[in-house]
A = this chain, B = another copy of it.
Amino acid sequence: MNTPPETIAALLFGPDRRGLVAQVAGWIHEGGGNIIHADQHRDGEEGIFFQRVEWAPAKGKLESQMASFETLASELGMNVRLARSSDRPKMALFVSRAAHCFHDLVLRWKAGEFRGEVACVISNHESLREASAGYGLPFYHVPVNPGNKAQAEEKQREILKGNGVDLVILARYMQILSEEMLDKMGCPSINIHHSFLPAFAGARPYHQAFRHGVKIIGVTAHYVSAELDAGPIIQQEVTQVNHRHGVSDLMRKGRDLEKAVLAQAVRWHLENRILVYNNKTVVFD
């Protein structure tokens, strides 16, 4: 099998107007590029146009096309984010005691499922230090308590910076990132919430679900924003439950969903497939 050629993936959005598809496709074609994937969406109500287009540039023109495409987008009045297929964004896993999402993400990474690298593990507990070492991953213990939160987050930001982290993953991390942290850390973060948001936001969602007698439980992967558990939803999945399932069964069934949904959200993010607007997402899968 020969290596597939390097590609550029562009995520665009902006005010809808006639001819956008033709202009972008024409530009790529005239520059000698070959479109590998193109998908677009039009929000009729808001009059916004969204596009993901991925192309293999002509030989030796990757660098220059990255730059000139930005110009094109700006001329078209579009917002753009570009990524090349050889990019390997660095991820930091924030964890507490729960181990299932941690192991799941690391094993998928090692199996080659992600277009990115796990760079380090940050935890407010010691319990996953040894497992991290077993995977060859740097582990940073940053205890957090009501009195030291600001300093702890400063410490975390230093670690992120030191490791060149591009994406923070809250893999059942049981602390809330402060608004200041979100502002200053300089990269997006994805959280897995163990309920079908917006139902059961906040603490102990499986207990809330059990008390309500719901017949379905779910989980939600979302970008983290300042409002707790209210950031743009990336993916959700659910499973059927019944009266025989106690809270611990809900937790066990939920763990399987959490692993699958968080991994899916991370995969999409790393492949530059997610556009955010109006606190919602467009996922070009």
| Chain B residues within an 8 Å CB radius of A252 | 113
Q: Which residue of B lies closest to A257 (CB)?
A: B260
Chain B residues near A22 (CB-CB < 8 A): 22, 25-26, 28-30, 35
Which of chain B's residues has its CB closest to A199's CB? B199
Stretch at the interface among A121-129, A169-177, A210-218: A210-218
Q: How far is the CA of A37 from the CA of B38 in the complex (A)?
A: 11
Whether A36 lies near B29 (C-beta < 8 A) is: no
Bound complex: CA A232 to CA B39 (Å): 25
Contact between A36 and B25 (Cβ–Cβ < 8 Å)?
no
Among A35, A215, A234, A242, which residue has the most Cβ atoms of chain B within 10 A? A215
**Residue A233 at the B interface, CB < 8 A?**
yes
Is A65 positioned at the interface, with any CB of B under 8 Å from its CB? Answer: no
Question: How many copies of the polypeptide does the oligomer hold?
Answer: 4
User: Which A residues between 213 and 259 are near B, CB-CB below 8 angstroms?
Assistant: 213-216, 218, 232-238, 242-244, 246, 252, 256
Decide yes or no whether A146 CB sits under 8 A from chain B: no
- Which chain B residue has the least Cβ–Cβ distance from A98? B111
Query: Contact: B103 with A107, CB < 8 Å?
Result: yes
**Is A85 located at the chain interface by the 8 A CB criterion?**
no
User: For residue A236, which residues in chain B have a CB less than 8 angstroms away from its CB?
Assistant: 214-216
Minimum Cβ distance to chain B for residue A106 (Å): 10
Interface residues of A in 46-69 (CB under 8 A from B): 50
* Chain B residues, Cβ within 8 Å of A243: 41, 43, 50, 280-283
Beta-carbon nearest neighbor of A281 in chain B? B213
Q: Is A79 an interface residue (CB 8 A)?
A: no
How far in angstroms is the closest Cβ of chain B from A197? Answer: 8
- Is A109 at the interface (CB under 8 A from chain B)? no
CA distance A233 to B215 in the complex (A): 7
Cα of A238 to Cα of B257 in the assembled complex, Å: 15
Give the residues in chain B near A244, CB-CB below 8 Å: 41
A–B Cβ pairs within 8 angstroms, 25 of them = A18-B29, A19-B29, A21-B25, A21-B29, A21-B38, A22-B25, A25-B25, A37-B42, A45-B246, A99-B107, A99-B111, A100-B107, A100-B111, A103-B107, A113-B252, A196-B196, A197-B199, A198-B200, A198-B212, A213-B280, A215-B234, A216-B236, A238-B238, A243-B282, A256-B260
6 nearest A-B residue pairs (beta carbon)? A213-B280, A22-B29, A199-B199, A22-B25, A215-B236, A243-B282
Beyond the given pairs A19-B29, A134-B134, A243-B280, 5 more chain A to chain B contacts, judged by CB atoms under 8 angstroms and listed by A's residue number, are A18-B29, A100-B107, A197-B199, A215-B234, A215-B236
